[in-house]
A and B are shown apart, each in its own frame.
Chain A
Amino acid sequence: MEAVTFFIAAIVSLAGACGVVFLRNPVHAALSLVATLFGVAIHFINLEAYFLAAVQVIVYAGAIVILFLFVIMLLGVDRAESIKTDPIIGQRQIAVLAVGGILVLGALIGVAFSGDVTGVPPESAQKSTYEGGTAINSDHVHADDEIRPDENIKNIGRALFSTRYVFALEITALLLTIGVVGAVVLTRRPKGELEPLPDDDPPAIYQDDTTNLNVEVTEEEHSDTTEDLKLNELEIEAPDETEVSSE
């Protein structure tokens, strides 16, 4: 059974990954990311990491991807970008080469270590979580491999608050606080006029004739939707609109 689950979940994850990369519309890409995350959660369950499977679905698929979708909708980047050509010269070709190279190297590594994938288990894995260790199966009362989801979360709890990981845990709390504060600060509306970004010539490696057209088209279309936003950013465009309407 495990094999069947593995292959199905593997196909789902890979399909989702390809979707993220190749779908032009960002919303579609976000949805295929959800598919990948679900596939990975199933893999976690296969590997008896029950708590983490749940966390994955709740946090990743349930919060982070939603956040992505919020931002996509906010910025209005729901238009497709042309994926046919790459403005940076040689980017695509070298990227393919590099990716191919990584695969080849990975295969080589796999071949080299076939039969002896992992090394020596660490010392802390010998002790049960009751004793401050990190062994997966702490209760050796159950000799057979029964599915015990509640044991997993208890073990994780005990191991997490042992001396080895408790400091990291507290730091993650701090990290999340910093993240929240940073997000609030970064996204505040600035007071006063924003300086325009410099409009120099792009570097020689960047050759693009297509985006300008798109910009003109989409800017006009967007002036309707962005009217609803605060007007102080769009002072440049507002007089244009009034002129157009007066004509």
Chain B
Amino acid sequence: MTNLVWLIPAFPLTGFVLLLVFGRRLGEPQAGWLATATVSGSFLSALGVFFGMATKPPEERVYEITLFEWIPSGELSVGLGFLADPLSISMVLFVTGVGALIHMYAIGYMHGDPNFSKFFLYLNLFVFAMLMLVLGDNLLITFLGWEGVGACSYFLISFWHEEPANATAGKKAFVTNRVGDWGFMVAMFLLFFNIGSLKYSDIFSSVIEADALTQTTATGIVAMLFIGAAGKSAQFPLYLWLPDAMAGPTPVSALIHAATMVTSGVYLLTRMNPVLAEAAGWSIDMIWIIGLFTALFAATAAVAQNDIKKVLAYSTVSQLGFMFVAVGSGLYVAAIFHMITHAFFKALLFLGAGSVIHGMHHEQDMRKYGALRKAMPITAFTFIIGWLAIAGIPPFSGFWSKDEVLLAAWNENKVAWAMLLLAAIMTAFYMSRLVFMTFFGEKKWGIPEHGETEEETDTDDDGTHQITPHESPTVMWIPLVILAGLAATAGLLNLPFSYGTKHLEHWLEPILFGNEVHVTASGQTKWILAIIAIVGATTGVLAAAFVYLKNRSLAKQIEHSVLEEAWRFDSTVSNFMGGPGRKSFEATTLFDQKIIDGAVNGVGKVTQRISTKMRSLQTGLIRSYALGMFIGAVAVIAYFVSRMGF
């Protein structure tokens, strides 16, 4: 069945083309169901490939197929091919699975939107690009997908582009990604220059068997790859775009900014682990240090946010930081495990938040929420499961994967572990804050504010002077339930208890080429660390419960405005680009105009002036011309006379 791997990206591509041509005619909701069907078809093909692979022995689980030669250019020969191996199939499974669920959810969420089919068109294109990224058998196909998801991210974030803030957010995402893409491209150039091929199999065999890369080159490549990964996976300082990207519709946030696109960076580094193994220590240390810093930084910012989606956005940045800590410490399996569980619970949380927003008629400020669990029971129930998962409460999946990451940090550096634990406690705190403010406590909706009349508080126009939040339609809560189930049980993938339960580790072994670092801690240490983590998470939950359910006044001290503005980093960058940055750009433009254009135009002007002077020779008078000819004849004869010998 593995030779069906080409079907996996073919389905969403077909969906994209069909929606491009027929989308408007299909209308709502047929366009949405078509899109969902294609992604589900992709998922089923992926399942087929997975079963085909699983039935084979581990050595044979790598399958390459090249469809045709894409770029035959001298020494560079790049083919359009797919590489189906354990890592890519794992990613494909959760990308298409979660993607299909989100497509279904979006049919309900985008109900009534005038550009309904365009949304699904972009979503399908995005899934196609993501699949190319994951399934490509060489770096250039991955880059194609990389750029594709960046472009689709731009389209989807600025979907409601009539609002200028949305368009700006889309632009910001694209430009920030581009900065990272530069790093990716330089890494590609370095790899091609040193190895001569961009295909993963060629690169790995050269690096492992033929030692083709010096340590310096490998270090450079890793640094550049990390820049690319930081752009896509929103690490400091290229995280700026992710909170602003919440301007897009919630299904977009769920799909792109929680489950799939932002994980591309982690995927890339895991895929290139042989190159990372050759690099010098400082570049690898840089990866986990930046990951750790990002995790803490984003966690502190999430504590003070009032927009429900912004909390989740900073939470995503923080959790990505966790994954990079694992990658930097050499425990790639932990990173992938956390990526998978994060996909499930973060998508669940985002979709749940979307459900809340939908039910509250597009109100996103959490200060207007409260006691929603009675009004939206299914949403509340699934959301709580997601909350427990991300907080790290056993037996939900988040606990197991976060524990692996903390173990990776402990293995690397004890101080790093302590800081990461602090970040985990803060995660529990702010997520609990979110849940308590939204679903518990007193209700803050439907109460007229100072100066508002009773009619103005009636935002659902049913004649009563209260907003009545309602539960979402079926097509929206079915994905929530499925994701909740996955978030609860995904921990089974890689339970640490014994060798036999570590399924993910065995599964990913062929692609790791033995580069997985083994944790040197004893079993007892691991138990202690796990208990400390549980205690920390519970403390966070209880602290949030105390502040937000009992004594709200403490909240002001915690939610410092600096935290809300994410330490004012974003505004600093904007001011810099707007101020000195713009001045330097204008100076460059001026240089181009005055000097370069001036030189070119100057040549023209000089020619004009010379020719104006020469024009005076053309008098039109015959006798002047005759004189000129005569003088010329005299000159020629004089020349010949001067050469005669006397």
Chain A interface (Cβ within 8 Å of chain B)?
A: 88, 91, 94-95, 98, 101-102, 105, 108-109, 111-112, 203-206
Contact = CB atoms under 8 A, between A and B. Distances in A.
B628 to A, nearest CB: 10
Nearest to A89: B624
Interface stretch (B9-17, B235-243, B328-336, B634-642): B634-642
Contact of A205 (B621, B638, B644): B621
29 contacts: A88-B621, A88-B623, A88-B624, A91-B624, A91-B627, A94-B627, A94-B631, A95-B627, A95-B630, A98-B627, A98-B631, A98-B634, A101-B638, A102-B634, A102-B637, A105-B637, A105-B641, A108-B641, A111-B646, A112-B641, A112-B644, A112-B645, A112-B646, A203-B619, A203-B620, A204-B616, A205-B616, A205-B624, A206-B619
A224 B621 CA distance: 31
A105 B637 CA distance: 8
A118 B611 CA distance: 47
Contacts of A204: 616
Contacts, number: 41
A203 B623 CA distance: 13
Contacts of B645: 112
Query: Chain A: interface secondary structure?
Result: helix
Contact of B641 (A88, A109, A203): A109
A205 to B, nearest CB: 5
B640 to A, nearest CB: 9
Contacts of A206: 619, 621
Query: Chain B: interface secondary structure?
Result: helix
Given A98-B627, A98-B631, A105-B634, 18 more contacts: A88-B624, A91-B627, A94-B627, A98-B630, A101-B638, A102-B637, A105-B641, A108-B641, A109-B641, A109-B644, A112-B641, A112-B646, A203-B619, A203-B620, A204-B616, A205-B616, A205-B621, A206-B619
Contacts of B620: 203
Nearest to B631: A98
A109 B644 CA distance: 9
A91 B623 contact: yes
Nearest to B628: A94
Nearest to A204: B616
Contacts of A101: 634, 638
Interface band, chain B: 10 to 19
B22 to A, nearest CB: 69
Contacts of B631: 94, 98
Contacts of B624: 88, 91, 205
Nearest to B632: A98
Contacts of B634: 98, 101-102, 105
A27 B380 CA distance: 124
Contacts of A205: 616, 619, 621, 624
A106 to B, nearest CB: 9
Contacts of A102: 634, 637
Nearest to B624: A88
Contact of B638 (A88, A95, A105, A111): A105
Q: Pick the 8 closest A-B CB pairs, nearest first.
A: A203-B619, A101-B634, A98-B630, A112-B644, A105-B637, A105-B641, A98-B634, A108-B641
A211 to B, nearest CB: 13
Interface in B561-599: none
Contacts of A109: 641, 644
Nearest to A111: B646
Nearest to B616: A204
A113 to B, nearest CB: 9
A111 B644 CA distance: 11
A145 to B, nearest CB: 34
A210 to B, nearest CB: 16
A126 to B, nearest CB: 29
A118 B631 CA distance: 27
A183 B620 CA distance: 24
Contact of A203 (B621, B637, B646): B621
A108 B627 CA distance: 22
A186 B19 CA distance: 77
B623 to A, nearest CB: 6
Contacts of A88: 621, 623-624
A206 B618 CA distance: 12
A112 B627 CA distance: 27
A108 B619 CA distance: 34
Contacts of B637: 102, 105
A117 B205 CA distance: 90
B251 to A, nearest CB: 78
A205 B628 CA distance: 14
A108 B644 CA distance: 10
A98 B628 CA distance: 10
Contacts of B623: 88, 91
Interface centre among B616, B624, B631, B638 (most CB of A within 10 A): B624
Nearest to B638: A105
Contacts of A98: 627, 630-631, 634
A88 B620 CA distance: 12
B124 to A, nearest CB: 72
Nearest to B635: A101
Nearest to B645: A112
Contacts of A91: 623-624, 627
A94 B634 CA distance: 12
Contacts of B630: 95, 98
A103 B410 CA distance: 109
Contacts of A203: 616, 619-621
A111 B627 CA distance: 27
A112 to B, nearest CB: 5
A85 B620 CA distance: 20
Nearest to B619: A203
A74 B623 CA distance: 24
Contacts of B644: 109, 112
A102 B638 CA distance: 9
Contacts of A94: 627, 631
B637 to A, nearest CB: 5
